[in-house]
Amino acid sequence: MLNSGKKQSAAAEKFNPDPDVIVAPGAKFEDQWGQWLNEIHTGLNGSNVLYIHTKYLIKDPFGEKPLIITGSANFSTNSTSSNDENMVVIPCSNEKGKTRIQDIYLGEFFRLFDHWYFRYLHSIDKSSKKVQAKRRFLKSTSSEWVPPYFQEGSDRFKRRNNFSFGFKE
């Protein structure tokens, strides 16, 4: 997830063709969506932070040595040399029933990622309004949406395998 959409779209374009990397730059709906209100930016966090202000790093949440790094520091030179910021390093457990910390952080990551990735995809969608409206509805049969999850090497195939926790067809 990247903080500013317009400045970071080039990063998304560069990395998103790689099925191992999915970049979600912050994005705002420029047009109203039906009954939804037009979004505004309050300016609460100044001009530097338009979308995301959480700071955490999750290392290997399902692996042997999961680790969470979180705090107020910005992962920047100023943060580590001149600002009064902090970071907490939390070694986590991979034992069954003892994964609560990384589960919470990973759940929050995916909540935010899905929120911003949807907005990013909408911001780069250049198809007609008619085509966009048709795509908004769920497919009638599983044969219409399941196949990409079984195309070996695709991002959907990899996500299905990563999050099925050992379940194989």
**C-alpha closest to that of 69 among 82, 81, 84, 85:** 85
pLDDT tens-digit map of 9-51? 777 788 877 778 888 877 776 665 555 555 555 555 555 555 5
The answer to whether the CB of 85 falls within 8 A of the CB of 73 is yes
Q: Could you give the percent of the chain with pLDDT greater than 70?
A: 77
Going from the C-alpha of 158 to that of each of 55, 66, 152, the distances in angstroms are 26, 20, 8
- For residue 40 the two structure tokens come to 């505004």
The answer to whether the pTM exceeds 0.75 is no
The answer to whether the CB of 32 falls within 8 A of the CB of 38 is yes
pLDDT (0 to 100) of residue 62? 86
The answer to whether the CB of 56 falls within 8 A of the CB of 68 is yes
Q: How far apart are CA 2 and CA 67, in angstroms?
A: 21
